[in-house]
Amino acid sequence: MKTYFQSWLAIAILASAILPVTIMTSQPARAAGPWYVAPGGSDGNSCLSAGSPCATINGAIGKAASGDTIYVATGTYTNSTGSEVVLIDKDTTLSGGWDPAFATQGGMSTIDGQSGRRGITVNSGLTAIIERFVIQNGSAVDGGGIYNNVGTVTLTNSTVSGNTSPFGGGGGIYNNVGTLILDNSTVSTNTASSGQPAVGGGGGIYNSNGTVTLNNSTVSGNTSPYSGGGIFNEGILTLNNSTIRGNTADGGGGIRNFGGTVTLQNSILAGNTAPISPDCSGTLSSAGYNLIGNTTGCTFNSTTGDLLNTNPQLFPLIGWPGFHPLLPSSPAINAGNPSGCTDNLGNPLNTDQRGVARVGRCDIGAYEYDPNNDPLRYVFLPLISR
**What are the tens digits of pLDDT across the range 254-273?**
999 999 999 999 999 999 99
Q: Is residue 287 part of a domain?
A: yes
Q: Is residue 8 part of a domain?
A: no
In terms of domains, do 197 and 306 share one? yes
In terms of domains, do 131 and 274 share one? yes
Domain interval for residue 205: 113-375
In terms of domains, do 190 and 313 share one? yes
In terms of domains, do 60 and 196 share one? no
Mean pLDDT of the chain: 90
In terms of domains, do 77 and 119 share one? no
Residue 383 pLDDT greater than 90, yes or no: no
In terms of domains, do 158 and 253 share one? yes
Tell me what the mean pLDDT of segment 6-17 comes to.
Answer: 41
> Can you give the three-state secondary structure of the chain, one letter per residue?
CHHHHHHHHHHHHHHHHHHHHHHHHCCCCCCCCCEEECCCCCCCCCCCCCCCCECCHHHHHHHCCCCEEEEEECEEECCCCCCEEEEECCCEEEEEEECCCCCCECCCEEEECCCCCEEEEECCCCEEEEECEEEECCECCCCCCEEEECCEEEEECCEEECCEECCCCCCCEEEECCEEEEECCEEECCEECCCCCCCCCCCCEEEECCEEEEECCEEECCECCCECCCEEECCEEEEECCEEECCECCECCCEEECCCEEEEECCEECCCECCCCCCEEEEEEECCCCEECCCCCEEEECCCCCEECCCCCECCCECCCCECCECCCCCCCCCCCCCCCECCCCCECCECCCCCECCCCCCCCCCCCCCCCCHHHHHHHHHHHC
Confidence tier at 280 by pLDDT (50, 70, 90): very high
Q: Is residue 52 part of a domain?
A: yes
In terms of domains, do 251 and 332 share one? yes
Percent of the chain clearing pLDDT 90 (strictly above): 83
Q: Is residue 241 part of a domain?
A: yes
Number of domains within the chain:
2
In terms of domains, do 286 and 356 share one? yes
> What is the reported pTM?
0.90
In terms of domains, do 60 and 198 share one? no
In terms of domains, do 70 and 120 share one? no
Q: Is residue 228 part of a domain?
A: yes
pLDDT of residue 133: 98
In terms of domains, do 170 and 297 share one? yes
Percent of the chain clearing pLDDT 70 (strictly above): 88
